Amino acid sequence: MQVFDMIIDGLPVKAESTFDVINPASGQAFARVQAGGPAHVDQAVAAARAAFPGWSRTSDKHRQDLLHALGVALEEEMPALMELVTKESGKPLGGLNGIGAGMEVGGAIAWTHVTADLELPVEVIQDNDEARIEVHRKPLGVVASITPWNWPLMIAIWHVIPALRAGNTVVIKPSGLTPTATIRFVELANRILPPGVLNIVTGESGVGSAIARHPDINKIVFTGSTPTGKNIMQNAAGNLKRLTLELGGNDAGIVLPDVDPKVVAPKLFGVGFHNNGQTCACLKRLYVHDSIYEELVGELARIARDTIVGDGLVEGTQLGPVQNKTQMDFVHELVEDARANGARILSGGKARAGNGYFYEPTVIADAKDGMRVVDEEQFGPVLPVIRYSDIDEVIARANANENGLGGSIWSNDRTKAAALALQLECGTAWVNEHGAIQPDAPFGGVKQSGLGVEFGRYGLEEYTSIQTLKIMKN
């Protein structure tokens, strides 16, 4: 069994004990990882703090070159990284509609190169006979990244690369459920970057809270649940840490009556079920007009029954297991609550017997607002489908949820759909798509789905402070 070490100041670091990493397809351990603690956080932050002056003074061009070199190293390591991602997260190597470990690692590589090329030029506010006023973007210092288990490597890249590009140094704590691909990424990075620029501390008990409270950390970027994000925000108040929080989502999609159910159903299924629904910006509540409701739910259920569920390392698998048993049990609890309250379970609705955390793709008809499976984020292979008849009413119903990450409108009339999409209370709205993101377009939530944005120039700015320089000329 492979044992993974922490990396602090460019060197492997062991703890007094290790913990197992479970393959959700088998329920068995495939790796051991160091169980770090608050003392390791202190060590990593000290290394990052010591490395910051040199790294922040490194030229933009040199930082860009090093990050591009890291992108190349990730590409060379792609098959091994894909295997680690599949073993720890359960997502197939290929996956439903090509969204699997290959997409995760490939996306991580692309994000690295695109982010490396981003620029934050000096902005000139005034330049006349009286004075020249410039606005400079400066790195913050030490950035801490706390990542979740659903897209472990991809989200690590989203956090780390813009922080490094802006001139910050980083301490990352991956989820204890999925740390291995991230550790391998940090190992590769430390062959390229100066010591201390990127450090990783693994472990659960006390590590996250030590990061949130640490007085020498200048910013935290966190992706995960809303309750955890609020806890981080409270603990970060001690030294007014900057925060970027991408939190829970319960994204609504609204299907207008002018679409063909047979044409739209495969796309809707894909955006609701890729990665087993374990994506913050998956479609999680589907509102369908009465006139096409029965035909559309029937098509979705048929697709669900035909979907290949299994071990992600087996060729042809479309959906893997739920990442952990606790999450699988929660998903089943929501399904049973819907069943008890009169909903129809058209497909799935149960876990598979045997090893691993496999839950059958589940389409729920006659779901209603107020049911737990509609009001709460399922984060699993479950899609509740809700009827509507009035468009203004359904927009209000979609907006009534406390989350506001993403939303979508589905229609053959793109102009009308775009106008409706702008009425959705969410950070990103799509027309005839859902959850599609890219490294040059900002992404973030409103309401209880977080604060700040990631990606592109807007995301890069979040890793900087503004300094205004005024130069008098007389």
Q: Could you give the residue numbers annotated as active site?
A: 246, 280
Cβ atoms of 89 and 153 closer than 8 Å = no
Strands 283-289 and 344-347: unpaired
What is the greatest pairwise CA distance in the chain? 81
Nearest 5°: phi and psi at 262?
-70, -30
CA 20 to centroid of chain Cα atoms: 23
* 112 Cβ contact partners less than 8 Å away, ≥ 6 residues apart: 67, 68, 70, 71, 74, 157, 161
Between the CA of residue 458 and those of 52, 200, 213, 244, 367, what are the distances in Å?
23, 26, 26, 12, 38
Phi-psi region of 270 (alpha: psi -120 to 50; beta: other; left: phi over 0): alpha
What per-residue string of b and e applies to 142-177 under the rule 16 or more CB within 10 Å gives b?
Answer: bbbbbbbbbbbbbbbbbbbbbbbbbbbbbbbbbbbb
Hey, what amino acid is at 470? K
Q: Which of 249, 236, 283 is nearest to 264 (CA)?
A: 283
Phi-psi region of 22 (alpha: psi -120 to 50; beta: other; left: phi over 0): beta
* 273 Cβ contact partners less than 8 Å away, ≥ 6 residues apart: 96, 282, 304, 307, 319, 361, 381, 383
What is the rounded CA–CA span in Å between residue 219 and residue 49? 13
What is the rounded CA–CA span in Å between residue 451 and residue 462? 11
Nearest 5°: phi and psi at 31?
-155, 160
Q: Which of 465, 472, 458 is nearest to 115 (CA)?
A: 458
Q: Which of 225, 201, 198 is nearest to 211 (CA)?
A: 201
Q: Could you give the 3-state DSSP secondary structure of residue 274?
A: helix
Q: Which of 426, 379, 375, 417 is nearest to 399 (CA)?
A: 426
Q: Could you give the 3-state DSSP secondary structure of residue 453?
A: coil
Between the CA of residue 121 and those of 86, 165, 460, what are the distances in Å?
39, 13, 12
Q: Which structure tokens are listed for 139? A: 């790195």
Cβ neighbour number for residue 191 with a 10 Å cutoff:
10
What is the rounded CA–CA span in Å between residue 418 and residue 428? 12
